[in-house]
Amino acid sequence: MDPFAGYKTAIDDKLGDATAVLDALHVVKLGTAAIDEVRRRVQQDTLGHRGRTRDRFTGSRPSSAPDGRTSPTSSGSG
């Protein structure tokens, strides 16, 4: 079942003896969202920002094209 409260309420109203069970997809989705929220909060508390270019904690680096261009739309041979 989808974790939407309306579904649970409808099932409880019409099928009082039924047991509501979440499917694996929604369980993983809820767990991933909770972990992601904690990760963001810890990073914000620890670093004081959401992540920056060349941040050693996030591993983000400026993107560049294979031929050294900094933008895929700029020409490499000027």
Longest dimension (CA), the chain: 73
The pLDDT of residue 17: 86
- Taking 50 as the pLDDT cut, the residues of the chain under it are 78
Domain span including residue 43: 21-51
- For position 33, what pLDDT does the model report? 95
Q: In whole angstroms, what is the distance from residue 65 CA to residue 7 CA? A: 49
27, part of any domain: yes
Does residue 33 fall inside a structural domain? yes
- pLDDT value at residue 26: 87
In the prediction, which pLDDT does 53 show? 61
Specify if 76 maps to a domain: no
pTM of the model: 0.47
- Report yes or no on 6 lying in a domain: no
The structural domain count of the chain equals 1
Asked, for residue 45, whether it belongs to a domain, the answer is: yes
